């Protein structure tokens, strides 16, 4: 699972503004791993600050996978990452079949 660490609150806010391919990649990877391991929840990434020991885990239940993958496909298309669009579309089909 990908871990994102921030020095300050401003770094955290700017990280999630606009398009962030690292987050998109982490969501897709988390869902892919969950499908492969037959899990009901996809562990996508962790968030925390340098000075703290606490990290917050971001997970998605199976019911939210199709919506998340669809959003990721749109992000990949905006970034012109067409191979990732195709891979995510195939993953979306698998996730939809599991519901």
Mean pLDDT lowest for which of 23-32, 33-42, 45-54, 66-75? 45-54
Cα separation, 73 vs 86, in Å, equals: 8
- Answer yes or no: is pLDDT of 52 > 80: no
Alpha-carbon distance of 47 to 2, in angstroms, equals 9
Q: Model's pTM, two decimal places?
A: 0.92
Nearest to 69 by CA among 47, 85, 46: 85
pLDDT confidence band for 13 (50 / 70 / 90):
confident
- Assess contact for 85 and 76: CB atoms under 8 A: yes
16/24 Cα distance (integer angstroms)? 11
Mean pLDDT over each residue of the chain, to the nearest integer: 94
Mean pLDDT of 31-44: 98
């Amino acid at each position: 699972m990908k871990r994102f660490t921030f020095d300050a609150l401003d770094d955290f806010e700017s990280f999630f503004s606009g398009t962030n391919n690292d987050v998109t990649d982490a969501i897709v990877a988390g869902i892919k791993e969950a499908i492969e391991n037959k899990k009901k929840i996809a562990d996508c990434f962790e968030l925390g600050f340098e000075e703290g020991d606490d990290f917050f885990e971001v997970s998605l239940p199976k019911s939210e996978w199709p919506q998340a993958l669809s959003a990721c496909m749109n992000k990949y298309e905006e970034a012109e990452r067409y191979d990732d669009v195709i891979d995510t579309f195939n993953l979306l089909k698998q996730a939809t079949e599991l519901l």
